[in-house]
Structure 1
């Protein structure tokens, strides 16, 4: 579909609206799931697959979608990350039932009236961040992924905006923080670690990003790490820097800003 230059209606995908620096993600959406799965040991992946099948049989699995919104210039080249590109991230309120206090993409469970995952992701993003969806283009839906702790079957919706406008916390009972984080903060090898939860094997450890105001880990950390790989933005980092989750959270106070120190 050709881009008209106008914002797309909710639910429409306009892959041609992607700037060149995002085309590797738009052209290979299935590669993100493959990159995600490559980091998971075979026995752990088998356990996740079994949990997914069990949740489907018992009816415990629920559909959900998240918005993966990149902002930045319209120009550029494939594989070349613009200095001013950013990614919309939230921190969930500490009182929520699922994934309390975690950094996450805007999103949530599908409502009965939703018209597909794009509609779900956009609706939830508006409710959480006040985002003006008329300023963005949904580009592609990535392959569905299962999150065992919550039973969500999540579709990441890739989107782009040259300027998404102001975003903020709409409901403090649901969201503690909303931030447009420079993508280079995720690329910076000094910000990358691996975390695992106390009481679990280190084989369940996953990629994480230690920033000044948030620790991005779990499902969101896995997705961002896969996006960096597929887009060609990832650089070598210390994969042996492994921390227990609580110890990693304790390091937050020692971090600098999102500015030059993390680029």
Structure 2
């Protein structure tokens, strides 16, 4: 049985050069950088997601999974690995790593934790989510481990997400309007797209794109 101690958290992170300046700016990130919603002091279900950046052929990528179509909530939606905290989890890092291990078989010793981002409130679901930003220093094959919850898993190149041709916004029937990325036959939107959009801004990676372009959501 692994624990959160299996993930590398040493100050000597030995990150690739492309992590600059994201790693430093992520440490100083504020809730307001990601959302306009204030996080309640009490209440909300604690949860965490793993924002895992790796490298393939010298180019950075991010691990994204697609939720199963029959799930009660977020059905078919691309997301970071993650979920609700359990009593045995020591902290948000432990939650994110446990969930990633259960969902796609990620091995925690392959991960270097870079920063724990601010706790974010998601009113529609009642979750208080802590994104854990990490470097996949020893990538290995991953796959769907819980088909009742996960339909597919992809390592999406950051360059594809930054391509202006793949960027736009979605408008949900609820009235929500936010950033979106159309990649690999998926539309990444909602909480996940919002985190990516902010991290790209913090890193200085964003390329000019057309915010007025609307990307349709599947039924």
TM-score, length basis structure 1: 0.75
Query: What is residue 67 of structure 1 aligned with on the other side?
Result: 50
Preserved CA contact (<8 Å) 2:8 2:111? no
1:115 aligned to 2:87?
A: no
Query: What is residue 33 of structure 2 aligned with on the other side?
Result: 35
Preserved CA contact (<8 Å) 1:36 1:223? yes
Structure with the larger helix share: 1
Query: What is residue 77 of structure 1 aligned with on the other side?
Result: none
Distance in 1, Cα, partners of 2:8 & 2:198? 24
Query: What is residue 114 of structure 2 aligned with on the other side?
Result: 139
| Cα drift, residue 196 of structure 1 | 1.2
Which runs of 5 or more residues in structure 2 are unaligned? none
1:13 aligned to 2:3?
A: no
Distance in 1, Cα, partners of 2:20 & 2:129? 22
Distance in 1, Cα, partners of 2:217 & 2:45? 30
1:223 aligned to 2:219?
A: no
Distance in 2, Cα, partners of 1:11 & 1:71? 15
Question: Aligned to 2:5, what secondary structure does the other structure show?
Answer: coil
User: For 1:148-163, what aligned pairs fall within 5 Å after superposition?
Assistant: 148-163=123-138
Question: Aligned to 1:249, what secondary structure does the other structure show?
Answer: coil
Which runs of 5 or more residues in structure 1 are unaligned? 1-7, 38-44, 74-81, 251-263
Preserved CA contact (<8 Å) 1:10 1:119? no
Distance in 1, Cα, partners of 2:84 & 2:6? 17
Query: What is residue 179 of structure 2 aligned with on the other side?
Result: 207
Runs (4+) of structure 1 exceeding 6 A deviation are none
Question: Aligned to 1:94, what secondary structure does the other structure show?
Answer: coil
Distance in 2, Cα, partners of 1:15 & 1:87? 22
**Max radius of gyration: which structure?**
1
Question: Aligned to 2:218, what secondary structure does the other structure show?
Answer: helix
TM-score, length basis structure 2: 0.89
| Cα drift, residue 33 of structure 1 | 3.9
| Cα drift, residue 20 of structure 1 | 2.7
Identify the match of residue 100 of structure 1 among 60, 64, 75.
75
Question: Aligned to 2:12, what secondary structure does the other structure show?
Answer: helix
Preserved CA contact (<8 Å) 2:178 2:190? yes
Preserved CA contact (<8 Å) 2:62 2:155? yes
Identify the match of residue 85 of structure 1 among 60, 68, 71.
60
| Cα drift, residue 34 of structure 1 | 3.8
Identify the match of residue 191 of structure 1 among 166, 169, 194.
166
Question: Aligned to 1:207, what secondary structure does the other structure show?
Answer: strand
1:176 aligned to 2:151?
A: yes
Question: Aligned to 1:21, what secondary structure does the other structure show?
Answer: helix
User: For 1:238-257, what aligned pairs fall within 5 Å after superposition?
Assistant: 238-243=210-215, 247-249=216-218
Question: Aligned to 1:14, what secondary structure does the other structure show?
Answer: coil
| Cα drift, residue 64 of structure 1 | 0.4
| Cα drift, residue 83 of structure 1 | 5.5
